[in-house]
Amino acid sequence: MPVTNPEAPAFHETVETPEQVRLHLELAGLGTRSIAYILDTLLRYGVLLAIFVAVVLIFDALQLHWEGITDQFGAHFIMIILTLLYFFMEWGYFATFEWLWTGQTPGKRVARIRVLKDGGGPISFLDAALRNLVRLVDSSGPMAAIGMLFIFFNRKNKRPGDLLARTIVVREHPKTLTQLLALSELPPRIPDDPFADLIRRISLTSDQHDLIARYLQRRDQLDTATRIRLCRQIADAIINPVRLQPNSAHLNLPQEADYERFLQSLVSVQPGPPLSKS
């Protein structure tokens, strides 16, 4: 789970949806965008090269020559297709994919980034064409240096094509819902809990409940010292007020070694204060 602050001003674009809800879009940085671009470029010229080599090998096997060929085996047709394919890879690849795949190219999909309009909406065909035709000036060959400088220095990571088409490139984290749901699973109830009496006396606030739940979710990622320290802090904060209550002398209080099991038992028995109507 990325622990980023959505309110952080840098590298974020805040968008207000028609439902009056603020969306925070995380802008893709130079690194991610470069990776996507390199992948796309490898794909473009890789496919082109593979087809070209295949055609040359076939022609060689059939003992044909490029110059002055007559239209045997659809040789003209193949040459036309190759010319069109080269043209497509040079000028059409990015615009076509971004238009058909709602702001993504194969490289962007792998790098998990997407092109959006400034307001967070989808880009149109004209936007896709606009931002990609000017790649000649800001991201092809040595000109890529210009696009990179722009992405690095521009407040919203825009290269000239993004400025022209009023687009932004954002990062996506498609797996996080599954992660969130997995993390929000409560631990199973422990039968014959030795601390049942104690637990009955505790009424958790929603913040305490979240704190314990989050501690339990993340405890495996903590180093042992931190884990013990945190566990003691949380458990003490909950148990100590009970100690001060009357008639608490006979209660079975957990030892430090049992703290984790106690916390686990606590959140599984108490799902929190009753639901407010929402």
Partner 1 sequence: MTTTQFIHTRKEHWQQLDSLLIKTERRRLRALSRAELKRLGQLYRILTTDLAYAQTNFPQSDVVLTLNQLASRTHPYVYRGESFTFAGVLHFFRNDLPQTFRANIHYFALSASIFLVAGVLGAIAVFFNEEAAGIVISPAMIDYIHRHEMWTEHFFSVIPSSVASTRIFTNNISVAFSAFALGLTFGIGTFIIITINGLMLGCILMLCARYGMLGPLIEFITAHGVVEISTILIAGAAGLMVGTALLNPGHYTRRDALAVRGADAVKLVLGVAPMLVVIGLVEGFISPQPAIPAELKMALGLFLGALLYLHLFLSGRNPSTTNRVS
Which sign does the torsion angle of CA 63, 68, 70, 73 carry?
positive
Name the residue nearer to partner 1 (CB basis): 212 or 235.
Answer: 212
Name the residue nearer to partner 1 (CB basis): 149 or 243.
Answer: 149
What is d(CA 105, CA 114) in angstroms, rounded to the nearest whole number? Answer: 8
**Residues sharing a CB contact under 8 Å with residue 51, sequence separation 6 or more, in sequence order:** 82, 85
Name the residue nearer to partner 1 (CB basis): 12 or 261.
Answer: 12
What is d(CA 97, CA 229) in angstroms, rounded to the nearest whole number? Answer: 52
Q: CB of residue 148 vs partner 1: minimum separation in angstroms?
A: 15
Token pair 């047709």 is found at 77
Q: CB of residue 176 vs partner 1: minimum separation in angstroms?
A: 5
Q: CB of residue 255 vs partner 1: minimum separation in angstroms?
A: 27
Q: CB of residue 169 vs partner 1: minimum separation in angstroms?
A: 13
* Local structure of 169: helix, strand or coil: strand
Q: CB of residue 58 vs partner 1: minimum separation in angstroms?
A: 17
Name the residue nearer to partner 1 (CB basis): 41 or 217.
Answer: 217
Name the residue nearer to partner 1 (CB basis): 133 or 228.
Answer: 133
**Residues sharing a CB contact under 8 Å with residue 110, sequence separation 6 or more, in sequence order:** 35, 36, 39
What is d(CA 91, CA 44) in angstroms, rounded to the nearest whole number? Answer: 11
Q: Supply 238's token pair.
A: 């909950």
